[in-house]
Structure 1
Amino acid sequence: MWKIKQIFDGDYGCEELQPGQKTKVSVTLVDNAGNEKFVTVEDDWLTENDLDVGSEWPVGV
């Protein structure tokens, strides 16, 4: 089982999004053995799925 350890918003406002492009964030996931992996997802997707630090990561994503 993977859990969200950290969510990093790397957008500091120095680059504008292209029309239709959504804000993305980097997510650090950790499993029960302490292994980490990193994924990039749309910030809106996290909100729509009620995911935050400490949340269990959906299987298959």
Structure 2
Amino acid sequence: MNRGILPELPVSAVLPVLGEALAGRNSAVLVAPPGAGKTTLVPLALLDAPWLGESRIVLLEPRRLA
């Protein structure tokens, strides 16, 4: 996580475990309530991961129509 100062959000606590899981596999599913930081924090935190190499991070954001 060298992309400046990232906000402290509820998913911050699971970032190390998520990183370890992705280092051993090429996909993961993260489930957390709205506002936990899934789309705000996780992609930025993973961009500098050594296992990422030249690969990309693909993030799907399902949205519901009100």
The question of a shared fold, defined as TM-score above 0.5 by the shorter chain, is answered with no
Hey, which of these two has a bigger chunk of helix by percent? 2
Hey, which of these two has a bigger chunk of strand by percent? 1
TM-score (norm 2): 0.23
